[in-house]
Each structure stands twice: as C-alpha cells, then as structure tokens.
Amino acid sequence: MSELLGIILAGVLTHNILLTGFLGMCSFIAISRDLRASLGLGLAVTFVATFTAGLNALIYNYFLAPGAMVWLLGDSARSIDLSFVSLIVFIAVIAGFVQVVEMVIQRWFPLLHGVLGIFLPLITVNCAILGVSLFMVIKGLTPFRATVYGFASGAGWALAIILMAAMRRRLDTSAMPRAFAGVPVTLLLTGLLAAAFSAFAGMEF
Amino acid sequence: MHLLVTILVPVLWILAVGAFVLLVRKLVLPSGPVRLEVNDRLMDATPGSSVLEALGTAGVLIPSGCGGKGTCGYCKVRFRSGDVPVLPTDSAWISGEELAQGYRLACQHRIFGDMAIEVPEKYLSIRRVQATLKAARMLTPDIRELVLHPDESLDFKAGQYVQVEIGDTEEQRAYSIACAEGSQDIILNVRLVPGGLGSTWLHSLPVGKSLFISGPYGDYELPGEHGTQLLLVAGGVGLAPISSLVRTVAATRNDMSVRVFLGFRTLEHAYYLDEFGSLSHPDLEMHVALDSEQREGFYHGFVHEMIKNVYEPPQKQPVSVFLCGPPPMIEAVMDVLSEMGISRSDMFYDKF
Ligand SMILES: Cc1cc2nc3c(=O)[nH]c(=O)nc-3n(C[C@H](O)[C@H](O)[C@H](O)COP(=O)(O)OP(=O)(O)OC[C@H]3O[C@@H](n4cnc5c(N)ncnc54)[C@H](O)[C@@H]3O)c2cc1C
Ligand code: FES
C-alpha cells in the first residue's frame, strides 16, 4: 500500500513528468492559454496514460521482455529478448487505443466527447504518454503498478498544465513587454515552476 | 526459430492493434450510407460524419463561420428526432427554449443512424459558385473594395453576406455584400486585419484570379410595411451591408424614410460618402461622425453620441434598425436607442 502511495506521490510531485522530464511540452504550451481546455486535456492525458501504461506493461511483461515468452513457448524462449521493439509496439498500442476510445465515446458518450474529443488526436503525439510507457519499463513495474504509475504521471501532467493555465490567466491582464508575451514568458514560468517542484525532490518514497 | 519469433511477435502485435481498431470501427459505424431527411428531401450521408459535413456533401450549404469548430454558432438547425444530447457547445449559442425545441449546432452532432432535421427554407437556395476578381481598389488605407463576378448570379437580399473560401486553406470568412440588390457582380469591402489570414489573402489577390464563394447568408429583410423608417448605423467597414441597404432602398423604396449614421476614425478612413450623396431619394438623411479628427461638417465624437444628440425617433412610423460594426459600438448604439424607446426586437445587427 505504502509503495503504491509512493508511486502516486512520485508521479504527481517529485518526478512530475512535465516539470522534471519536460515531456509533452508542445501541447502544454499551446493549450495552457485556456483554463477550461487545460482541464479537458489534463483529464484526457490522465485517462490515456493510465490505460496505455497498463496495456503496454502487459505486453511488455508477457511478450517483449527478455525471456518473457516462457509461458507461451516453453524453456526455449528464455533467450528471446524483444525489448528492442518495445518502442514501436508501444506507439502502435497508444495510437490504436486513442483511436478506439475516440470512436467509442463519439458514438456512445457524446457529452464526454464534447469535453475530450478535440484533445484525443493531440494525445497520440503527446510524448508524455509514450514517456510513461518507456519509464515504466526502466522502473520494471508490474502491469498493476504500471497502471497506477500511468495514472499518477497523467495526474501530474494535468496538475502542471492546470497550474500554468491559472497563472497565464493572470498574465493576460498584466502589463508585459512585447518580446515576452505569449510563449517566451510561458517557458520562463515553466522553468520557475519546475524549480519550485524540485523542492519536492528531497522527499524519497 | 528465434528469428521467426523475433519477427513475428512484434508484427503480429501491431497487426492485432490495427485489426482491433478496424473491428471497433465496424461495430461503431453502420456499414452502408444512412438516410438524412432535410425538410422534405431525402439524402444519403456517410455514417460518422457531422451533420454539417453531410449537408455540405449533399449540396445543402448552411451558414458556418468557424468551419465546424463550434465557435461561431451559425450552423443552428432543428433536429426532429428527439433525443439529441445537449453539448456545452450547443448551450453556448442556443437558448434554453430553442434547445427544448430541438435546435442544435449542426457541426457538433454526428450521424450514426437515419436522422431528420429541419433547416430554414431559404438555406436551400444557398449556392457555392466560382467567381473572378474583376476589379479592385483601395477605398481607405486599410479597406479594399473587391468586385467579384460570379459564374452564376447569386440571388441576394440587401444586408446579406457571402462566405469566401480562403485560398488553399480549409478556412472561410464572412464578408457582407456592399452592392444593391439585383447586381450581377458581388462587391465586398474588406478591411485588412493585421496578421489576419483571410483579409491578408483577399488584400493580396490579383485582379483576374478566381475564388469560391457561397451564399447568400443572413437573416435581415427590409420591412415590407409601407412608410417604415429605416435607421442604419455603421462603424468602419461595417458600412458594407449598410451600403447595400442604402443603395437598394434608394433604387426601389421611395416610401421609406432613411436615416444613416456612420462613424469613422478620421476622414481618411471614411468611404462611399460622395456616392451616397449623389443618390436620389426623397427622404434620406446622412450624418457622419469622426472620433479622432475635427472637420467642418462632421460630428466630432463617437457614432452613439452623435445619435443621442441628433436623432429623433419618429412618433408614429414603425422603425427598423440595422447596425453593423465592432461589438462595442453596437452595444453602445443599442443602449442609446433603447433609451429612446426603440425596442431591441426591431434592431438587427452584424458584429464584425
Ligand atoms: C456576418 C459577418 C459579416 C462580415 N462582413 C465583413 C465585411 O464586410 N468586411 C470585413 O472586412 N470583415 C467582415 N467580417 C469579418 C470577417 O469575416 C473576418 O473576421 C475578418 O476579415 C478577419 O479575418 P482574418 O482571416 O483576416 O483574420 P483571422 O486570421 O481570423 O484573425 C487574425 C487576428 O484578428 C483577430 N480577429 C479576427 N476577426 C476579427 C474581427 N472581426 N475584429 C477584430 N479582430 C479580429 C483574431 O482574433 C486574430 O487575432 C464579417 C464577419 C461576419 C461574422
Ligand atoms: S460551424 Fe461554427 S458553430 Fe458550427
């Protein structure tokens, strides 16, 4: 239990994928202009990260990891190591998952589609999602833990973009040198936010 | 054996993902075309496309300012099938009463089965035509007049607008028609918006080139009642539809009295004044305000201040108001006019 809590705190705070890994920056910069859209995108990233991390962990642990296919092919598979293709397989799984989710919610949950719909295509190419799957391999997580880790990282990403959107709302009404307005000041703020979050790094879970 | 597994397993996984996506697609979308009933006409639609796209494919053009992003609210239609969910984008543009009657944004709802909708009858006459830029000139430092010659004439009413397709992009922009009803050519006044996609393109379009426009769009109709007073108010390039109305009324409606109030920044930014001055109409008055310059014969200040000082609403005549210009100007003028006792339901406006 405490270990799961550790994974969650690490994902949200100490190892926030956006503020310590700087992954998913392009949609972060583009969408944090608007608070409502940031909420929507944050939700969508959390949702997709949770499930794709779990799915990819299943595939990795039962097919791709060194010797993972022993359950399928017997002892002779002990020396098979497919981890070098995990990147490609993960990308395919993420793209496929996003497509399926988009079709399903478009058909049966139009209200949810109104909130998430326009963001889903953005997510296929959000590197934070792929990052979560790759990190979970490095960390050697089981499928269940990977799901928790995916959720935590997604929530951390959502937290970061919502914080930034709230700050940018204030920026909109403040006097700003022209050269700084828009993206430059957002990048500066992201740096400050990341520095602030690095204060959490002292906590090891 | 190892080599085979090494190749097969990843390939199979990727194929499996693809197959799964296809399978879900089959489950989600009906296979054949579905039936879309528009008013009394039946047309085929591709399942999964939005109602707006389906109408476009079937040749029924309805207004859409934002190209289907749900940010303009123009594509409102009534769904006859009852259970269409209300999306946040719907309620941003459509009143509770209309939502209850089944009005929704056509671009926000997709077709998965047979569906029946109603569009205003006049939308059925909207067409997409190719037009050639016949002539162009600068009216002011930032407004270009474009004379378009459409391959087939558009049967428009004064005060209506066309949608112009912007070059190779998917974008469209609305521009009011500035010439009198019955004209074969379509005249537009386009103000250059710095950094603006559509206005920049239209300002740099050379004479002789062709482009696609669709129309006519817009709900305003000149009041049929004899002796109505027409009150026209424009700020800046908002003059475009007002110009069409003034010219049309001058040519066809001697029974109306016409009061025109125009606002510009400086005299350099004003246009069409001489042409209006030479129109012959028994009861046409024109007042011009300049807010950043003092000039002999012009009111110095904003157009709503001028109206407050100069205009007297008629006692018995009915009044029909058409306002066009930037949103703050429209708000200010509507406030002044309602203080004078003119009902907001008699005021029609286009916010640029
Ligand atoms: C019914 C209707 C009739 C219209 N008739 C005319 C007309 O006769 N003549 C005319 O010049 N324009 C008219 N417009 C406005 C026109 O459709 C475009 O919005 C305008 O030309 C700007 O388009 P763009 O592609 O150049 O700018 P965009 O690329 O859309 O925008 C560039 C920048 O300008 C801002 N912007 C966009 N539109 C406006 C605006 N209207 N006012 C202030 N800032 C804006 C955007 O926020 C953006 O920052 C009409 C609009 C409507 C809805
Ligand atoms: S087309 Fe703009 S809201 Fe539908």
Sole residue written with tokens 């004439």: B153
The predicted pLDDT at position A104 comes to 87
Q: Which residue of B has its CA nearest to A76?
A: B2
Q: Is the pLDDT of residue A108 over 90?
A: no
When pLDDT is averaged across residues A143-152 and rounded to a whole number, the result is 95
Q: Which residue of A has its CA nearest to B6?
A: A82
| Residue scoring higher pLDDT (B305 or A122) | B305
When pLDDT is averaged across residues A108-136 and rounded to a whole number, the result is 84
Cα(A120)–Cα(B348) distance, integer angstroms: 39
What homologous superfamily is domain B126-217 in, according to CATH? Answer: Translation factors (2.40.30.10)
**Ligand 2 atom nearest to CA at B106:** 4
Give me the amino acid identity at B195: G
Q: Which residue of A has its CA nearest to B26?
A: A103
Q: Is A179 on the interface with B (CB under 8 A)?
A: no
| Residue scoring higher pLDDT (A117 or B327) | B327
Q: Cα(B247) to centroid of ligand 2, in Å? A: 31
**Closest among B216, B41, B173 to B119, alpha carbons compared:** B41
Domain ranges of chain A: 2-199
Residues in chain B with CB shorter than 8 Å from the CB of A64 are 9-10
Q: Is A99 on the interface with B (CB under 8 A)?
A: yes
The predicted pLDDT at position A205 comes to 55
Residues in chain A with CB shorter than 8 Å from the CB of B112 are 107
What homologous superfamily is domain B34-56+65-122 in, according to CATH? Answer: Beta-grasp domain (3.10.20.30)
The predicted pLDDT at position A204 comes to 63
Rg value, chain B, Cα: 25
Q: pTM score > 0.80 for this model?
A: no
When pLDDT is averaged across residues A26-35 and rounded to a whole number, the result is 88
Mean pLDDT of successive 10-residue stretches along chain B, which has 352 residues:
83 92 87 87 89 90 83 90 84 91 92 90 87 96 96 92 89 92 95 93 95 90 88 95 95 92 95 92 93 92 94 89 93 94 88 80
Domain B229-351 has CATH 3.40.50.80: yes
B324 lines ligand 2 (CB under 6 A): no
Domain ranges of chain B: 34-56+65-122, 126-217, 229-351
The predicted pLDDT at position B139 comes to 96
Cα(A107)–Cα(A98) distance, integer angstroms: 14
The least confident of A92-96, A177-181, B211-215, B240-244 is: A177-181
The predicted pLDDT at position B315 comes to 86
Cα(B233)–Cα(B229) distance, integer angstroms: 13
B270 lines ligand 1 (CB under 6 A): no
The predicted pLDDT at position B209 comes to 95
